[in-house]
Amino acid sequence: MKIRKTIYALALTTFMAGCVFVGCQTSTKKEDIAKDKVADAREDVQDAKEELMNARKEATAEEWKAFKNQTNIAINENEIRITDLKAKMEKTGNSIDALYAKKVEELEQKNKDIKFKVETYKNDKASDWESFKREYNHDMSELGQALKDMTVDNKK
């Protein structure tokens, strides 16, 4: 029985030593593996940058013309709605509160700002057409909602 325990102890010790020997790597090997991982990560970042640059595109001439026409129509409609709001303020004869007048002025300025952005946009590879369209649509949506909110009659 004593021999059996010795054999088990020897086998266990040999097994553990083998595991430790196989599991240990030299620091040089670990450093090489880390360098390879860093190099791979840098390549991935570079690939992602190239994909992003290729994704940026300018609008085609047809897209730009259609976009410009839609923009001009929307901006003109906003100008008409703002003019109507101003006319209502003057017709009432009552002194509309300053807050209402200030909101109308702010809406008018936002409409002018959007118009200016569209007029000064450079449609080329340096600009991001998709990003510009997304921002424009967001701004127009907010302005449209604000104009709609101004014309809603809350009296019941």
**Residue-wise pLDDT tens digits, 138-154:** 999 999 898 888 876 54
pLDDT (tens digit, 9 = 90+) per residue, 37-62? 878 878 887 777 776 665 556 677 78
> Is the dihedral angle over the CA atoms 63, 69, 72, 75 positive or is it negative?
negative
pTM, entire model: 0.56
Question: What tokens were used for 149?
Answer: 């909110």
